[in-house]
Amino acid sequence: MERYAQTVEHDPARLDEIRRRQDLVFRLRTKYGGTIEEVVEIGRAARAELDLLDGAGFELGALQKRLDDATAELARLAAELGERRRAAASRLAGEVNQVLPELGMEGGRFESACLPLSEPGPSGGEEVEFRVSVNRGFEPRPLSFVASGGEMSRIMLALKTILARQDAVPTLVFDEVDAGIGGRVALQVGDKMREVAASHQVFAITHLPQIASRANVHLRVSKSERDGRTATEVDALADDERVHEIARMLGGDPESAVSLEHARELLERSVAVR
């Protein structure tokens, strides 16, 4: 034992270090697990999380650069779309304004305004607002504020006439399109509707014989009372029935020779201009 004791190096500093490590191991086992293996595994997981946090700054910078690049590209594309949209809006307004006088709106003026948004969205950097002035001397205002039902229908008819080839809507319904018009203008409205009908299915609710005579198919809607209840009937009119219905819509005696002749003339003119 004496010889062994002589070989042992007495190092108080080393002893203190070992005791500190023993104390550290004890505290780690108490806090993070009952075994050394559990403590080591928790330490490994904590180190991996720390590495992830250290790399997050770099990834965040890369993501921010991608966001900045995408934002710049969005702004560029929105500006390009805006230029094309404004050019198309100008062309559309010019063509609609050429059609409006033919639809009984000589003093009408249409424009398509591009209103800038605070920031670009899925539809670009602006929204489109249709504006119209139905009387000469007034500035165009939003379509929904100034147009009546009949005027709205005629403006939509003008738009559909121009956009018929590009429009994917298969069926169009025009109600009150004859409000406030008659005579030659009614014939022109009928001709425009037939023009649109070359590429769309068009339903028109009308009381004017000039418009009804331009249809390919004439449906008469009537009401009658059956067993104390009102019933609505829809009849497809054949040739002679259509002549009598047009004569009735003309306002005269539907059985008179003059009314019937006038009805036939309207229908024959419709066939001639197709």
Residues composing the chain = 274
Q: Where are the extended beta strands (E) located within 64-164?
A: 109-121, 124-133, 141-142
pLDDT value of residue 77: 94
At residue 89's C-alpha, the angle toward residues 160 and 120, to 5°, is 115
pLDDT value of residue 67: 93
Percent of the chain with pLDDT over 90: 20
Mean pLDDT of the chain: 85
The arithmetic mean of pLDDT across residues 238-264, rounded, is: 85
What's the token pair of residue 268?
A: 């024959």
pLDDT band at 86 (very low <50, low <70, confident <90, very high): very high
Alpha-carbon distance of 150 to 19, in angstroms, equals: 98
What's the token pair of residue 123?
A: 């539809």
Report pLDDT digits (tens) over 110-165: 999 999 999 898 889 999 999 998 888 888 888 878 767 777 778 888 888 788 76
Of 223, 248, 226, which Cα lies nearest the Cα of 234? 223
The arithmetic mean of pLDDT across residues 44-56, rounded, is: 80
Of the chain, the end-to-end C-alpha distance in Å amounts to 128
Report pLDDT digits (tens) over 170-226: 888 888 777 777 777 888 888 888 888 888 888 988 888 888 888 889 999 888 888
The arithmetic mean of pLDDT across residues 249-270, rounded, is: 82
Amino acid at 27: R
pLDDT value of residue 196: 85
pLDDT band at 83 (very low <50, low <70, confident <90, very high): very high
Greatest mean pLDDT among 4-13, 80-89, 260-269 lies in: 80-89
Alpha-carbon distance of 218 to 169, in angstroms, equals: 22
Residue 210 CA to its chain's centroid (Å): 34
The arithmetic mean of pLDDT across residues 245-255, rounded, is: 82
pLDDT value of residue 130: 92
pLDDT band at 74 (very low <50, low <70, confident <90, very high): very high
Helix (H, G, I), strand (E, B) or coil at 74: helix
